[in-house]
Structure 1
Protein backbone atom coordinates (compact mmCIF):
# COMPACT_ATOMS: atom_id res chain seq x y z
CA UNK A 1 0.00 0.00 0.00
CA UNK A 2 1.21 3.47 -0.80
CA UNK A 3 -0.17 6.11 1.54
CA UNK A 4 -2.52 8.50 -0.31
CA UNK A 5 -1.09 11.60 1.37
CA UNK A 6 -1.93 15.23 0.86
CA UNK A 7 0.77 17.20 2.72
CA UNK A 8 -0.49 20.58 3.98
CA UNK A 9 2.76 21.56 5.73
CA UNK A 10 6.10 19.81 6.23
CA UNK A 11 4.78 18.47 9.57
CA UNK A 12 1.13 17.75 8.76
CA UNK A 13 -0.63 15.68 6.10
CA UNK A 14 -4.14 14.39 5.52
CA UNK A 15 -5.38 11.20 3.93
CA UNK A 16 -8.64 9.42 3.13
CA UNK A 17 -9.73 6.41 5.19
CA UNK A 18 -6.76 4.24 6.06
CA UNK A 19 -6.59 0.57 6.96
CA UNK A 20 -4.85 -0.65 10.11
CA UNK A 21 -2.00 -2.01 7.96
CA UNK A 22 -1.25 1.57 6.85
CA UNK A 23 -0.04 2.49 10.34
CA UNK A 24 3.29 0.71 9.83
CA UNK A 25 3.70 2.50 6.51
CA UNK A 26 2.90 5.84 8.15
CA UNK A 27 5.57 5.20 10.78
CA UNK A 28 8.07 4.19 8.09
CA UNK A 29 7.27 7.44 6.25
CA UNK A 30 8.33 9.38 9.35
CA UNK A 31 5.00 10.19 10.97
CA UNK A 32 4.96 10.09 14.74
CA UNK A 33 1.22 10.63 15.36
CA UNK A 34 -2.11 9.85 13.72
CA UNK A 35 -5.45 11.59 14.22
CA UNK A 36 -8.62 9.75 13.18
CA UNK A 37 -11.43 12.26 12.54
CA UNK A 38 -13.98 9.71 11.39
CA UNK A 39 -16.80 8.54 13.68
CA UNK A 40 -16.88 4.76 14.11
CA UNK A 41 -19.40 3.13 11.80
CA UNK A 42 -19.80 6.17 9.57
CA UNK A 43 -18.86 4.13 6.50
CA UNK A 44 -20.71 1.00 7.52
CA UNK A 45 -19.43 -2.30 8.87
CA UNK A 46 -16.43 -2.38 6.51
CA UNK A 47 -14.85 0.71 8.07
CA UNK A 48 -12.04 -0.13 10.51
CA UNK A 49 -12.93 0.75 14.10
CA UNK A 50 -11.00 3.30 16.09
CA UNK A 51 -9.99 0.50 18.44
CA UNK A 52 -8.37 -1.49 15.62
CA UNK A 53 -6.68 1.65 14.28
CA UNK A 54 -5.37 2.54 17.75
CA UNK A 55 -3.94 -0.96 18.22
CA UNK A 56 -2.23 -0.86 14.82
CA UNK A 57 -0.84 2.62 15.52
CA UNK A 58 0.53 1.50 18.89
CA UNK A 59 2.11 -1.57 17.30
CA UNK A 60 3.81 0.74 14.78
CA UNK A 61 5.08 3.04 17.55
CA UNK A 62 2.71 5.89 16.69
CA UNK A 63 0.73 8.15 19.01
CA UNK A 64 -2.98 7.90 18.16
CA UNK A 65 -5.93 10.18 18.80
CA UNK A 66 -9.58 9.70 17.86
CA UNK A 67 -11.47 12.96 17.43
CA UNK A 68 -14.66 11.98 15.60
CA UNK A 69 -16.36 14.88 13.85
CA UNK A 70 -19.15 15.13 11.32
CA UNK A 71 -18.21 15.87 7.72
CA UNK A 72 -20.40 18.88 7.12
CA UNK A 73 -19.77 21.02 10.18
CA UNK A 74 -17.16 21.14 12.90
CA UNK A 75 -18.05 22.92 16.13
CA UNK A 76 -15.80 25.49 17.81
CA UNK A 77 -15.17 22.89 20.53
CA UNK A 78 -14.06 20.29 17.96
CA UNK A 79 -11.77 22.85 16.31
CA UNK A 80 -10.28 23.71 19.72
CA UNK A 81 -9.76 20.01 20.47
CA UNK A 82 -8.01 19.56 17.11
CA UNK A 83 -5.82 22.60 17.85
CA UNK A 84 -4.87 21.03 21.19
CA UNK A 85 -3.96 17.75 19.48
CA UNK A 86 -1.75 19.61 17.02
CA UNK A 87 -0.04 21.36 19.93
CA UNK A 88 0.54 18.24 22.02
CA UNK A 89 1.06 15.28 19.67
CA UNK A 90 4.58 14.67 18.40
CA UNK A 91 4.97 15.57 14.75
CA UNK A 92 4.87 14.98 11.95
CA UNK A 93 1.14 14.27 12.22
CA UNK A 94 -1.08 12.38 9.76
CA UNK A 95 -4.84 12.96 10.03
CA UNK A 96 -7.46 10.96 8.17
CA UNK A 97 -11.21 10.85 7.59
CA UNK A 98 -13.38 9.58 4.74
CA UNK A 99 -11.76 11.70 2.01
CA UNK A 100 -9.33 13.97 3.85
CA UNK A 101 -11.58 17.03 3.40
CA UNK A 102 -12.82 17.35 6.99
CA UNK A 103 -9.25 16.96 8.31
CA UNK A 104 -8.19 19.75 5.95
CA UNK A 105 -11.06 21.97 7.14
CA UNK A 106 -10.18 21.27 10.77
CA UNK A 107 -6.52 22.05 10.17
CA UNK A 108 -7.29 25.35 8.43
CA UNK A 109 -9.75 26.38 11.16
CA UNK A 110 -7.39 25.32 13.97
CA UNK A 111 -4.38 27.18 12.57
CA UNK A 112 -6.06 30.43 11.50
CA UNK A 113 -5.04 33.63 13.22
Structure 2
Protein backbone atom coordinates (compact mmCIF):
# COMPACT_ATOMS: atom_id res chain seq x y z
CA UNK A 1 0.00 0.00 0.00
CA UNK A 2 1.39 3.37 -1.00
CA UNK A 3 -0.07 6.83 -0.58
CA UNK A 4 0.99 10.39 -1.37
CA UNK A 5 0.32 13.21 1.11
CA UNK A 6 -1.09 16.36 -0.49
CA UNK A 7 -1.37 18.22 2.83
CA UNK A 8 -0.92 17.52 6.52
CA UNK A 9 -4.50 16.19 6.68
CA UNK A 10 -5.06 14.61 3.28
CA UNK A 11 -3.45 12.00 1.03
CA UNK A 12 -4.27 10.11 -2.16
CA UNK A 13 -3.61 6.56 -3.26
CA UNK A 14 -4.10 4.30 -6.27
CA UNK A 15 -6.60 1.44 -6.07
CA UNK A 16 -6.71 -0.11 -2.62
CA UNK A 17 -8.16 -3.39 -1.45
CA UNK A 18 -10.06 -4.39 1.67
CA UNK A 19 -6.84 -5.75 3.21
CA UNK A 20 -5.33 -2.24 3.05
CA UNK A 21 -7.86 -0.68 5.41
CA UNK A 22 -6.21 -1.89 8.63
CA UNK A 23 -2.89 -0.51 7.38
CA UNK A 24 -4.45 2.88 6.69
CA UNK A 25 -5.87 2.96 10.21
CA UNK A 26 -2.47 1.96 11.63
CA UNK A 27 -0.88 4.78 9.60
CA UNK A 28 -3.18 7.23 11.39
CA UNK A 29 -5.88 7.85 8.82
CA UNK A 30 -9.40 8.30 10.13
CA UNK A 31 -11.40 8.51 6.87
CA UNK A 32 -11.35 7.01 3.37
CA UNK A 33 -13.05 8.33 0.22
CA UNK A 34 -13.49 5.95 -2.71
CA UNK A 35 -13.71 7.92 -5.98
CA UNK A 36 -13.74 4.88 -8.29
CA UNK A 37 -17.08 3.64 -9.64
CA UNK A 38 -17.78 -0.04 -8.99
CA UNK A 39 -16.99 -2.16 -12.04
CA UNK A 40 -14.81 0.45 -13.73
CA UNK A 41 -11.81 -1.90 -13.60
CA UNK A 42 -13.70 -5.09 -14.32
CA UNK A 43 -14.30 -8.06 -12.05
CA UNK A 44 -10.89 -7.81 -10.32
CA UNK A 45 -11.72 -4.42 -8.81
CA UNK A 46 -12.95 -4.67 -5.19
CA UNK A 47 -16.56 -3.61 -4.69
CA UNK A 48 -17.27 -0.53 -2.62
CA UNK A 49 -19.43 -2.55 -0.21
CA UNK A 50 -16.45 -4.82 0.55
CA UNK A 51 -14.17 -1.81 0.95
CA UNK A 52 -16.65 -0.16 3.30
CA UNK A 53 -16.99 -3.26 5.47
CA UNK A 54 -13.21 -3.54 5.83
CA UNK A 55 -12.82 0.19 6.51
CA UNK A 56 -15.48 0.18 9.21
CA UNK A 57 -13.98 -2.97 10.77
CA UNK A 58 -10.67 -1.05 10.97
CA UNK A 59 -12.39 1.90 12.65
CA UNK A 60 -12.34 4.18 9.61
CA UNK A 61 -15.09 6.41 8.26
CA UNK A 62 -15.79 5.46 4.63
CA UNK A 63 -17.51 7.36 1.82
CA UNK A 64 -18.23 6.07 -1.66
CA UNK A 65 -18.15 9.03 -4.06
CA UNK A 66 -17.80 7.54 -7.55
CA UNK A 67 -16.58 10.09 -10.10
CA UNK A 68 -16.03 9.83 -13.85
CA UNK A 69 -12.44 11.01 -14.13
CA UNK A 70 -12.88 12.09 -17.75
CA UNK A 71 -15.90 14.24 -16.88
CA UNK A 72 -15.59 15.73 -13.39
CA UNK A 73 -18.65 17.85 -12.65
CA UNK A 74 -18.94 20.86 -10.33
CA UNK A 75 -21.29 18.80 -8.16
CA UNK A 76 -18.47 16.22 -7.75
CA UNK A 77 -16.12 18.99 -6.61
CA UNK A 78 -18.72 20.44 -4.24
CA UNK A 79 -19.37 17.05 -2.66
CA UNK A 80 -15.64 16.38 -2.30
CA UNK A 81 -15.10 19.80 -0.69
CA UNK A 82 -17.88 19.08 1.79
CA UNK A 83 -16.31 15.72 2.64
CA UNK A 84 -12.95 17.39 3.27
CA UNK A 85 -14.67 19.73 5.74
CA UNK A 86 -16.76 17.14 7.57
CA UNK A 87 -14.87 13.84 7.65
CA UNK A 88 -12.50 13.05 10.50
CA UNK A 89 -8.93 13.93 9.56
CA UNK A 90 -6.53 12.87 8.29
CA UNK A 91 -8.39 11.53 5.28
CA UNK A 92 -7.30 9.58 2.22
CA UNK A 93 -9.01 9.37 -1.17
CA UNK A 94 -8.32 6.74 -3.80
CA UNK A 95 -9.20 5.88 -7.39
CA UNK A 96 -7.50 3.79 -10.08
CA UNK A 97 -4.20 5.71 -10.19
CA UNK A 98 -4.73 8.55 -7.72
CA UNK A 99 -5.00 11.19 -10.47
CA UNK A 100 -8.79 11.65 -10.24
CA UNK A 101 -8.66 12.04 -6.45
CA UNK A 102 -5.76 14.49 -6.81
CA UNK A 103 -7.72 16.56 -9.33
CA UNK A 104 -10.80 16.59 -7.09
CA UNK A 105 -8.65 17.79 -4.20
CA UNK A 106 -7.06 20.52 -6.31
CA UNK A 107 -10.43 21.77 -7.53
CA UNK A 108 -12.03 21.57 -4.07
CA UNK A 109 -9.26 23.51 -2.33
CA UNK A 110 -8.80 26.39 -4.77
TM-score (norm 2): 0.99
Deviations 1:57-77 (A, max 9, x none): 000000000000011121000
Q: Which residue of 2 aligns with 1:77?
A: 75
Q: Which runs of 5+ in 1 are unaligned?
A: none
Q: Which runs of 5+ in 2 are unaligned?
A: none
Match of 1:46 among 32, 44, 47: 44
Shift in Å at residue 10 of structure 1? 1.0
In 1, Cα distance between equivalents of 2:6 and 2:34: 16
Q: Which residue of 2 aligns with 1:98?
A: 96
Q: Which residue of 2 aligns with 1:28?
A: 26
Moved over 4 A (4+): none
Helix, strand or coil for the counterpart of 1:83?
Answer: helix
Aligned residues: 110
Taking only aligned residues, the RMSD between alpha carbons, in angstroms, comes to: 0.5
TM-score (norm 1): 0.96
